[in-house]
Amino acid sequence: MEQARKVAMSFFCETIRSRGGIPRLQLVWDGESTTTRGGSSPAFYVFNRMDSDGFVIISGDDVTMPILGYSCSNHFVVENMPPNLLDWMDELRNQINAVREEHVVGTSYISKAWTRASDAIGTPIVKLTTALWDQQAPFNRLSPTTSDGKSITGCVATAMAIIMQYYQWPDQGVGTVPVYTLQADKNTQIPSKTFDRPYVWSKMPVKVDKNSDTDIKDEVATLIYDCGIISKSQFGRKSTWAYYENALEGMIKYMKYNKGTHMQNRATRVMSEWHQMLRKELDAKRPILYTASTKSGGGHMFVIDGYTQENYYHVNWGWSGSSNGYYLLTVMDPSNPGSGSSSGGYTQEQAAFFNLIPDKDGTSAFTDNLVLIRKEVNGVYYEGLVMDAVNIQPEQEFKISIGAVNNIGRSAFDGNLRIALVGKNGTIKEYISEEIPVKYPADSYHSETDCFCKITLPIKAGDRIRVYYKGKYSEDWEYLRGGSLLKSEIILKEEDMPLEKMTSFAYDKKNKKISLKTCPQVEYQVLSLTNNVVFSGITNDDNPEIRIDTSELIDREYVIVLRKKIEDEDEYEEKRIRFAIGNQNKK
């Protein structure tokens, strides 16, 4: 804990607001309980500033990023913590413990972050102003009373309402929400409602509390209740939940929001691409409805309304501003392009709604949105792409089976699938199948589709097979993605690992020998500073190691030059390693 306290102290001392005084910190939570506390140290520590506003969450293991979350304007409130934040922190604990169990090694980026934590968070780039609303009184004034008492609004309804308050839209809902009965309380029926009055946005300010005027509390409570019923919320005193798909459907059907809004899962993107997608939304001044699911099956929704240069995202938990702040979406290196798309235990299921904006003129169009899913049908497991041959060669015919395909769009898909040969950089090199016409109803899956293929181009390192789709709402062919546990592409020829990643340097002080392990078939030279070749050679396939006896060297400094031919190209990759020799007896 002392190391965590030092990092927390350093963080606040190095921030602009803290200059001129030493911050006073209090450990308010370490995430552990009597049931979770074991022999290992806590996964994280939460410190509040006692002399000012602010909190910081420090990781309990230096293999992850040091700062998991922070704020310079709010305290972290442990008592009556919002359920979505509580589960988020529980997942962080699971991720860090999984990293420990798997003995994951931290990157150089993470090591550097621990030396100066304040630099790792980056400068805030975008911060939108969103409502500091809640799930409890006075926001649940219209929520039904069930058999266990007065229900809360639920994180889904509150997050939806926060988005609507930001846009001050709709002017008025449309249509009639039908009656429905609660699943867990058959005695409670939610009555139908026709939207026949406008919303008074001037009476829905960013901050509302128990002391606000009655008309303000009524207006806000009406909006949040309406968000609850259009998403078919299952109301309860301790927990109110709703399906994310119902929330989106309700906003489009009853609240006049963009039909082209689409949900994307984080697991279908590498982390660098996911950051780009989120940043694009926020740069366009569009707050994001964001979801996170736990391994136990629970799920929560909240609002992301800002980000920093180093990919910390500002979260509005929908709990009157309590614990709002900047949080990492993954405990691992956020600069790592692939982190977050791993199948390891230190990832969390997350999704976001993109292009969620008002449809004020009613002209928006649906989007096509297909994904691969893991599905069991009649005892058969479908887990992505399956190829009926190995070691494919040009002009050879083979079959690709695709399954299962899920239409998560809000309308029926009517279009085509097609298989493509894709290069290592993701560029389509050629289509290798005919267009396969398919039709999928909205929110449905199809177990299997077979495509017959033939490649005509030479297969190069990094080439792969992917499936693309194009429907009546698509302008271009879209990559049919799947989660991290699915096979959404088939690698035909493994890409060469670069010298930088495959080369390690070690020095035996006792025997004065350098061991340089690298790739097979690497040309090497040891040069003096005057560029004289001391010796040279080529590494072999069985043991690609270069051994240098420094006791036989005369000069003080040398350079090792490694050259490796890039497969399928007429170019070479080069790496230079400079080393110096200390005082030693020369022969």
pLDDT score recorded for residue 20 = 54
Decide: helix, strand or coil at residue 488: coil
pLDDT digits (tens, 9 = 90+) for 320-330: 999 999 999 98
Q: Averaged over 444-465, what is the pLDDT? A: 94
Cα separation, 111 vs 478, in Å, equals 38
Catalytic residue of the set 72, 155, 451, 453: 155
* Assigned token pair, 110: 């993470």
Task: Characterize the bridge pairing of strands 44-49 and 193-194.
Answer: unpaired
Verify cis geometry, omega within 30 degrees of 0, for the bond prior to 184.
Answer: no
Smallest CA-to-CA distance from 67 within 107, 112, 24, 11 is with: 11
Cα separation, 459 vs 122, in Å, equals 42
Catalytic residue of the set 75, 262, 275, 300: 300
* Assigned token pair, 113: 């972050």
Residue length, the chain?
A: 587
Q: Averaged over 210-225, what is the pLDDT? A: 98
Smallest CA-to-CA distance from 578 within 511, 529, 532, 535 is with: 529
Cα separation, 45 vs 6, in Å, equals 12
Share the mean pLDDT of the chain. 91
Q: What percentage of the chain's residues is helix, strand, coil (to nearest 5)?
A: 20, 30, 50
pLDDT score recorded for residue 264 = 93
Identify the burial level of 270 via C-beta atoms within 10 angstroms of its C-beta, where 0-12 means exposed, 13-18 middle and 19 or more buried. Answer: middle
Per-residue confidence band for 340, with pLDDT thresholds at 50, 70 and 90 = very low
Smallest CA-to-CA distance from 403 within 466, 441, 446, 368 is with: 446
More confident call, 292 vs 281? 281
pLDDT digits (tens, 9 = 90+) for 246-283: 999 999 999 999 999 999 999 888 889 999 999 999 99
pLDDT digits (tens, 9 = 90+) for 101-112: 888 777 878 888
Note if 155 is an active site residue.
Answer: yes
Note if 451 is an active site residue.
Answer: no
Complete domains list, the chain, with CATH: 2-129+266-354 (3.90.70.50), 145-253 (3.30.910.30), 370-491 (2.60.40), 499-580 (2.60.40.3080)
489 has which bridge partners?
466
285 contacts 357 by C-beta, under 8 angstroms: no
132 DSSP assignment: B
Run of H or E residues at 236: none
Q: Is the pTM of this model over 0.85?
A: no
Cα separation, 108 vs 106, in Å, equals 7
Where are any strands of DSSP class E within 368-435? 370-372, 375-377, 380-382, 384-387, 397-403, 405-407, 413-422, 428-431
Those residues whose C-beta lies under 8 Å from the C-beta of residue 47, and which sit 6 or more positions away, are: 4, 5, 8, 25, 26, 27, 28, 55, 56, 58
More confident call, 571 vs 25? 25
